[in-house]
Structure 1
């Protein structure tokens, strides 16, 4: 998920890029003015200080701040929200009498490090050692745990730190002031003569100190101070330091619990087969042989799938293999990639699309141009292929329902459970766990829907785990995108006309319908509609074309991944047409975007751009990107030998605003680059006879550890508010890679993946 959804949820009108992107000039909301703070104080059950803090949500399509009220949430139990019209707490701090700080947070940990970086924000302002802060998963409650940047309780869009940056720090600062005031009252001194340090309040004049745990009951009775000042960044002691991951020990010793690790009493196991054809249904099932297998308990039909229930996974899998299944394949049985791409190409030739940006006079710009360059770029369907395959454990009973899984959208899990079971929401309990990779896959809830339909027929706890084959062949895929792009160049090779049509599926029209306005999917046009380059005449439009029966969903970076590949590849084409070094060409167009220019200079200098010629068969490519509130530049060095590409080195410069944990940033960028190399070189989902042709890592190839290049991450110091970091590394990689291949071979690749195109380019 990307910035497009964030901005759409803010009520931005999508007919101009400066309204779509809050970092562009003319935006009606800045992150600093958007995040407002309200605190409430109360006593926690059993004693202690409970501090609630909130972020106002945005009314749909209005761009107006709303406030709601709610009660405390501790340890996963949420009380009823108060009437609308006042603030709803978004997350809470609990400090117990032992001085332990607990943060209940609606962001989930899926490898990105938020369970370290968010506590750093609290610990910094609260003046406690980081190792005294622990986290609890927040329960599903959209009103209490709304993320206004995304319009719901979900994790995605590289927003976790952007969302938490100011409210979490203010919560910590407010709690610190309360504790100081409580100590000052006890000592009968002026609070200004006290200070907090290492979980204690100190009074230097009398050489007295007292621990937070001894103050929390008194502090809970005090009124919450308003407008508590935050630390000056120059005084930070935790934020900005390289902190080791707090969740690493349990992941190393095996005590960490992912959805796949869940075991509950009396649990049985389900193996699933889903109709291989999109849109097909289950016909008939002969389960005679399956029921003869020891350990097989039952065979259950569920819409377009059949499940075998066993005492253990092996029994269920053997039983599934023994079934004689007949599928009703339906009209989708003839679907092919040729049809899908043909639909996209025809849509691209449609007269006009929905306008995402229009600046100047594009028609006149082309008429004045000395040279015109036209190109078509294509990017394939992609599966998520998370390390932890799709899974969900459920126990559906007449009086309630428990669901165990790792999800990015807990409230949507509740919604689907209500629909399937008929139970009220308060009878649904979601046990959210660590995620073994998300990448957008766990923004969907189809796995829970299927498990609930099976569990409803059983009445006992059942664990449903998709095999890797099911996972890849029944994923919800990154859309296939088809882009037509043109530029008119003046006599010096500078673009004076720019026209870009994006054709593809709209994820937002399904996932968040209010965000799809005036025919524009803000995610699909992201980057394309807000370029860092100085282009006087632009026309960017969008044509929605759904791929018949193929389901589409967010995939790490989504719109910016698509947009950056097209834009940065095409900029390279223009540089080649103008016979200008591609870095110089970009520098000449970035005068109005100094942060983009800075990361470009940082990356290219670190990579040694232009310092020496490369051997034959080697090439160096570059890309620049502004997305997710961050600025990126990448330089990739490759070797091409008989059609095989080896990525030797990637140098990346990152300006993501103020940094919380440099270790997390570096790890996220490294992981994003590896994810992006895998996709650019190898990944594609193809359709034949209505079904996915790939089924496992044998034909949906992953980058091997010995193929991983040297990766250098240079973090640019900045005083700007934090930007996103989880997705930009993936989004910026592909064009640097393909531009490097062009430098090595002279072959311009306009279609991904590289492996299927290089031989014929």
Structure 2
């Protein structure tokens, strides 16, 4: 067993206790209320209800269930007593221990909270046991805990956690409490009902878009139709003449219309007459940008090497065979199910904001700065969100910044009524942030034995890192652009990876799986093409270059075996495979594909995953199924294109996502492990891109090097 390494900080608050892991700052003990046992991650009420406070954003990935399971396991709680709620905004208590701010991202929620929540549960359990020992006058060593009760085997006595919570709150916080071994788990590794599932099914979960404050207005913003455009003049007379319209405000981001309800606000927005200044705007179309990317890839100007190994120039010159290919991926919008919406109320120098904040530390800082308020006068109320995929985590806090600008304008006009700022789906698709468009130029060499000898990979893509996104040559590598490149895992003696940053006015940001969502496609399709050139099986070729990567090899073998790799398939079918490690999780996928009347039909996907300890097999399966659906949207349908700088798509009708009738049968197989859990929210979404492309290439006999895949129309 491992032990708790930190000693908690104790502060009494009424009849409760706040147990800090990490220590509480002055004044934070007031978080406890009423009788019971309370600490930053846990409350046990005298009724026996156990509430786990979730420091990471619940955005549909099931993190509330997973994190609650970790704590409940060490607490020896009855799962039926367990509930979850978002932790308040308090970076001192709830910061990400790696990123240093309160945020969610990088598929790190479970991994980042694993030790914290185990310790919190174990300490609380020890205090409850000690409280029972004192009440009964017996040694604590004679007692056990099970299903939210403390038991004394010798006498058959038992007490519920609720009955013990208040007494436990008065005890000193123990140190060195042992944690369970994996063999003792009764909740971790077993499928449990998802917390809040019934509320979700009946629409009872409150999201940002649902918040309704007394006297609340609704606002929508008319943003520039071209990125970088600005308002030159605005005529709001027609909008203001519409009944129910309260105000029109010119903001740095555009023109806001404030009305009594969303419909009136949207109707009034259409009546605005705005003259836009596009002198600093991005005005190029997608074909022009693609041509610029190719030019940059060829010239290598403004580029920076992110990896150099051996001598690629000499190796390429002396190779038995050299292959070259360009891989192109478009801009993509995040398209979460819940459009962005945030509610704010500014009165008497105090501001409250309600929303599904993915990076509340960044959002809070932006709001306080714009409003000119001390940090303690801005209060965030975190809520769950209906998806994000990175959209809510912008470093600019764009959507919260817009609300803050609006609240400031409202206040200056003497209006202190709360306001909800809403983005329609069209707003977000045409004027939000995007997955960067990218071009990968790959040159790869084989030796006379058909082994991979050298790889040169040039990646042309924008950076979303604030310090690197500005125009000009990069001063340092951006790992979020190149992560997952071909030479990262595959054995190749000579390798050079280069990043070239184009100067484009399209705003980009984190998107599910960051760099892996484009590097995986290019490198895994290239590995298939190299295998064919070497006259080798695609699986065998990969395994030959993964001798130093046993987890990759094991996942590939498992997925291939379960998919029937190498066995005869029904006529007109083909298999394609791919593997990637992302966020310390390895995922291999095999896709079975057929072509039907000029369209791609993905019939079956077999997925093997090594993600350390599996907290909940049901959540694991759901995340991989959802990731596959997410990736298939990019494979089969989705792209954003520009015409004269304007985004051409606007909603699901022309920026389509996977439909239910297109969803393949999915099989998930996890590799047993006692290692600490790693991320699962993002890794499952990326191998499917190349797995389907490789299967289609086998069916058509033509390489697939761009997404979404476009098939030639059927002849005749």
TM-score by length of 1: 0.87
Alignment of 1:49-60 (within 5 A): 49-54=17-22
Query: Which residue of 2 is the match for residue 697 of structure 1?
Result: 652
Structure 2 residue 258 is matched with structure 1 residue 306: no
SS in 2 for 1:508: coil
How far apart are 1:217 and its partner, in Å? 3.6
Structure 2 residue 324 is matched with structure 1 residue 374: yes
Structure 2 residue 701 is matched with structure 1 residue 733: no
Structure 2 residue 517 is matched with structure 1 residue 561: yes
**Aligned equivalent of 2:103, options 154, 160, 174:** 154
Structure 2 residue 144 is matched with structure 1 residue 192: no
SS in 1 for 2:454: strand
Of the structure 1 ranges 129-138 and 228-237, higher mean CA displacement relative to structure 2 is found in 129-138
Question: Distance between the aligned counterparts of 1:90 and 1:485, measured in 2?
Answer: 53
Alignment of 1:219-618 (within 5 A): 219-332=168-281, 334-348=283-297, 349-350=299-300, 353-444=303-394, 445-458=397-410, 459-510=416-467, 519-528=476-485, 531-546=488-503, 548-616=504-572, 618=573
Do the aligned residues in 2 keep the contact of 1:337 with 1:686 (CA within 8 Å)? yes
Q: Structure 1 residues 167 and 118 mapped into 2: Cα distance closer, same or farther (>3 Å)?
A: same
Query: Which residue of 2 is the match for residue 664 of structure 1?
Result: 619
RMSD (Å), alpha carbons: 2.6
Question: Distance between the aligned counterparts of 2:316 and 2:94, measured in 1?
Answer: 50
CA deviations over 1:467-501 (Å, ceiling 9, x no partner): 22111001111111121222111112110212222
How far apart are 1:604 and its partner, in Å? 1.1
**Aligned equivalent of 1:165, options 100, 111, 114:** 114
How far apart are 1:159 and its partner, in Å? 0.6
SS in 1 for 2:574: strand
**Aligned equivalent of 1:122, options 44, 67, 71:** 71
CA deviations over 1:378-406 (Å, ceiling 9, x no partner): 21111011111111111122321111111
SS in 2 for 1:591: coil
SS in 2 for 1:615: coil
Question: Distance between the aligned counterparts of 1:39 and 1:512, measured in 2?
Answer: 42
Query: Which residue of 1 is the match for residue 587 of structure 2?
Result: 632
Query: Which residue of 2 is the match for residue 63 of structure 1?
Result: none
Question: Distance between the aligned counterparts of 1:582 and 1:483, measured in 2?
Answer: 21
Structure 2 residue 675 is matched with structure 1 residue 720: yes
Do the aligned residues in 1 keep the contact of 2:352 with 2:380 (CA within 8 Å)? yes
Query: Which residue of 1 is the match for residue 576 of structure 2?
Result: 621
Runs of 5+ consecutive residues of structure 1 not aligned to the other structure: 1-31, 55-67, 79-88
How far apart are 1:666 and its partner, in Å? 0.3
Question: Distance between the aligned counterparts of 2:344 and 2:115, measured in 1?
Answer: 37
Runs of 5+ consecutive residues of structure 2 not aligned to the other structure: 411-415
Count residues in correspondence.
700
Question: Distance between the aligned counterparts of 2:560 and 2:164, measured in 1?
Answer: 54
Question: Distance between the aligned counterparts of 1:137 and 1:455, measured in 2?
Answer: 25
SS in 1 for 2:621: helix
Do the aligned residues in 2 keep the contact of 1:374 with 1:486 (CA within 8 Å)? yes
Do the aligned residues in 2 keep the contact of 1:622 with 1:736 (CA within 8 Å)? yes
SS in 2 for 1:215: helix
SS in 1 for 2:443: strand
CA deviations over 1:309-359 (Å, ceiling 9, x no partner): 221122222212222222112242632223433333333222684333333
SS in 2 for 1:685: coil
Q: Structure 1 residues 492 and 530 mapped into 2: Cα distance closer, same or farther (>3 Å)?
A: closer
How far apart are 1:262 and its partner, in Å? 0.7
How far apart are 1:652 and its partner, in Å? 0.8
Q: Structure 1 residues 254 and 69 mapped into 2: Cα distance closer, same or farther (>3 Å)?
A: closer
Of the structure 1 ranges 282-291 and 576-585, higher mean CA displacement relative to structure 2 is found in 282-291
Question: Distance between the aligned counterparts of 1:109 and 1:140, measured in 2?
Answer: 14
Question: Distance between the aligned counterparts of 2:24 and 2:441, measured in 1?
Answer: 48
How far apart are 1:511 and its partner, in Å? 9.0
How far apart are 1:263 and its partner, in Å? 0.6
Do the aligned residues in 1 keep the contact of 2:331 with 2:639 (CA within 8 Å)? yes
Question: Distance between the aligned counterparts of 1:74 and 1:737, measured in 2?
Answer: 54
Q: Structure 1 residues 69 and 42 mapped into 2: Cα distance closer, same or farther (>3 Å)?
A: closer
Do the aligned residues in 2 keep the contact of 1:749 with 1:758 (CA within 8 Å)? no
**Aligned equivalent of 1:654, options 609, 620, 623:** 609
